[in-house]
Structure 1
Amino acid sequence: MRLMPLFSIKAVLLFVVSFSCFCACPVRANVIQHYDVGVLALRGDDHAKAAWLPTLKWLESQIPNTTFDIHTYDFDQLDDAFRHNQLDFLLTSPGQATKIARQYPLNWLATQKTAYSSNATHSIASVVVVHDDSPYKTLRDIEHASVAAVSEKAFGGFLALRYELDKRGLFSRAFYKNITFTGPPTDKLLLDVLDKKLDVAIVPACTLESMAKEGLLKRHQLRVLDRKHPHDSVCAVTTALYPNWTLTKTERASNEIGKKVTQALLSLPEYSKAAAAAGNIGWTLPASSMRVDKVFQHLDMHPLQESWQQGLFKWLTKNQLITFAIVIFLVLLNVYHFWLEYHFNRSKKDLERTLFDLKEKNTMLEHAQRTMIVGELGSSIAHEINQPLSTIKNYSEGIQRRLDQGMTAEELAPFLGKIHQQVGVASDIVQRLRSLIKRTPSERVICDPAAFISESLELIEFDFQALKIGLKFTVEGTPIQGEFDYIGMQQVMLNVLRNAKEACLANLDWEQRPMVSVELLYGENDIVIRVEDNGVGLEACEKTVKEPFFTTKQDGLGLGLAICRDVIESHHGHLMIQPARPNGCEVTVVIPLKREQA
């Protein structure tokens, strides 16, 4: 009897524990599992939900105690959701699924089948659409058209077309930079083409046919460029067909639920409401993404492809010894570059200093040569100055006599004017001589070349007359004015005439009179000055004669023709020396002119 209370307590406890276990089992069995499914909404959020919610409801009906929540995204939002591990399943285009699968762990569960072509797992393509009355007939015509697509990441809406254009060698990178990417929905692109707000729209396959079926547009209003129907596709496309949309599982979902989802999808009837809403005829095993990989590789967009910078860094890391040698070489190369630059700058300064010294010395030599010319022309200069002085003397004596005879100032005024005129003549002669000795090389004046030739002849004429050497000056053609270094050209003429005079004096054959002729020829765009004598002729070849310091005179500097050549070359002209027939020498100066005013 004492054991009865203890037995009663044990029985009660056993009942409580058994009841608790009995109650707990159903509670655990009825726990609801929630899964997040990301869907790419190309035609907008509402269209995506209407298309795929029936499929998710089918999964819930086939897998007890589960719910599948749909989340619609554009391309960038879907990438962001993956980076933050917010999804259990992904339903998207083959292009984006392939790229994400190469960056994140994904399990491919199933690929939807469609009745659009004889290849049930392939219906993705790009379609280029224009207005029916558009002038664009083929893809080649759209280079300068206004083109738009949903996104540069859209495989069927852009990348498949870019691959096709690249294979054909059409268009440069500039064409792709001008494409406008509007973002979802794709419907707006076709409506903009319809309203002629846009020339060309790039959309996924069957978008045009679906919108026509839904009554959003009339099929005949729009036209597909380079239209084709691969695998007997009912939808007109521009590119080849690629695998359909695929459902994939992320690491966040277990393999067990992945297996159940795959089984449920594969058992979905072809003509169920879920299949009709999604526009497919059920699901099958995952299709190969090899063709999609090839597109990305061709466009250098594959996630597993290394850029050339990454490849170079990896190679340098692997070959550290070579990398170290390259770094040392580059450092030494830079040091050598700076060393060369330092020496180059120093040499440049030395050359500039040397050039300045040479110019100074050249100026001094020119001055010496001009002074020598003036010295040699002493008799001519004395004659030139003596003429006005003699005239002044005669008029002065005449005025003195007339004053003694009682002539008035008014009667003497004309004679005083004559004296004033002759003073001006003497002053001009002195001024010309001073200019000849102290000429400025850069001084240029607009004049007729006959002017400096005539003045040069006046300076040397008396000397020629005294030595009984004939001097003749002729002019041919229409006079041209040009820009000349006036005193420099005078120096050239005096040098050449002086050489001609000395050649005539050195000629021992006096059967004919020594003669120097000067000829000025006016051409279309140049002048030619020719000085010919009948003297002894050339004693060396032209090249030797024109070299500096070459001379046949005992007291000569050998700088005359060298200076003449420098003056002529400063006018962009050239100097020629050649024998004359039957004897003598001919010097020709050719100077191009900017034709000023005749």
Structure 2
Amino acid sequence: MMIAKFHHLAAIGCLIFSCFSYAEDTAPIRVGVLAFTHPDNVKKRWQPTIDKIAADLNRPFELFALTPSELDSDVAQGELDFLITNALTGVSYKKDFGTSSLLTLVPLRNKQPTQAVGSALITRSDRHVANFNDLKTLSAVSTDKQAFGGFQIFAGEMAHNDLNPFNDFEQLSFVGFPQQKLLSMVLNGEADIAILPTCVLENAVKNGDIAANSLKVVLTKAAPTFHCKTSSELYPYYSFSKLGKTDHRLATDVIRSLLTIKTNDQAAIIGRYDSWSATVNDSHVFKLLKQLQQWPFVTNWTSIFKSAFPWAVVVAIFLLLGYIHHLRVKRLVVLRTRDLQAEIELHTQTQKALLEQTKQFYKAQRVLLTGEMASGIAHELNQPLAGIRYLTQGCIYRLSEEQTDLKDAMTKAIQQVDRAQSTIKRFRHFCQQPSVMSECSLNQVLDETLSLMGAEFTRMQLTPEFRSETVQLTADPSLLQQVFVNIIRNALDAMAQTPEPSLSITLSKQAQHATIVFKDNGTGLTEIALERLFFPFETSKENGLGLGMIICKRIIEEHAGEIKAKNNCNKYTKQREPGLSMTITLPIKEPLND
């Protein structure tokens, strides 16, 4: 039972396979032939040749007469199996679509298939054309700008002579077929010359269409084995080609069939050829194609698109990457702009805070200066007022009892002295600013002081050298900052005429105290000025009050510290060097309890 079913399935499979094989064998082979005009006439010319192949192979063949654009489209889409084209179109398809040339047509009355067709430049017998430059003053006509045997071959000749047929003729017109119409136009004076395939003039004279010696071929070239006059090199004419998809065994059978055609066969007579031969060397056709591709009339947009497409993709990728990079850079610019705006805002706030701190510092300095001035004035006024009081009291003791008026006046004078002393005391008490002690970092106070003096350093083109250890102590940071600013400003004033100013600040820490040393390379002080440095109203500045250093001394002493000054000297030779060193010593106290 199983064996019977297997045989039954095998029979069905063979039947289906045979049906597909039959369908494949009976599918018509499509052959395309190039036709510029009258496709019916072209089809009649080549149909006997195709029928001969179909009969020899016992397979259906179908012939299509196609215009150049239709043939280009069908070849590009792979809708044909074989082609019959002129040599130039054949090599163009070989280059662009990978077709393979199988056979070359052998023309009538010429056994050289490589010299089958050329271009003839035909004009009236009375016109003299000696060289290519004479063409520039002539009007020309041709059938079609894609006609191989006429216009394209002669266009290659002109290109070889550095001429462009579209620019270097006085006028160029394409008037279509039939070709005899162009001969009539030259005879009637409608055109000066006609560009036609070789043998057109000779055949017209032979058929009686044109009177002998009325027209002539000019710019002729020698062709001993060719029976017609030519104005160009000679080329192979028709070729039989296959597309890349066509089976090579089928192509072999077609070649075998075409090679059996003889001159007297019906296919050769109607096709107007002698026979078919093996494909010939078409390198000179490729050379012509290369020349013609420099001209606009042979632009193969399909080929250009295929060759340019990979480059277009590469360019598109680069443009896309460039656009992505542009977006990335734009995003980075936005982010950076935002960061810069934030930094500018922070800088503005810092400047405002620094300006406010500077104002508060100068305000505190003015208050301290007022207090010191009050102390100095009180000290200077209290002594003479005390002397006046004692002298007045002495006078009262020496007056007699009868001198009451004078005694009352002197008593009132003593009262006014007491009133003045009381006013001075209240003024001095009002101007005194109490210190606000708190735990602070001496490093931070010095850093803030250097920031506060940044503009002065820039003006002096000076970068101070700051070396420090970490020091925490209990002090009034505002008062200490006033001391540091005063010392630094005095140092900058002393270095105003120094070519290369230098300022070093050193903060060191010992067991029970911290030491700050300010060292400059300015003018220094004389011994007398150094001794009276901390005296009130002692100054070497033109507009100074002489209270700065006494204020510094009292602030440091209020912090139980000590301030000293000495001129710089070499520690080895003990010789004096430029500049002054200010040394401040502060005790390190325990932090205050809350």
TM-score (normalised: structure 2): 0.45
When Rg is computed on C-alpha atoms for both structures, the one with the higher figure is 2
TM-score (normalised: structure 1): 0.44
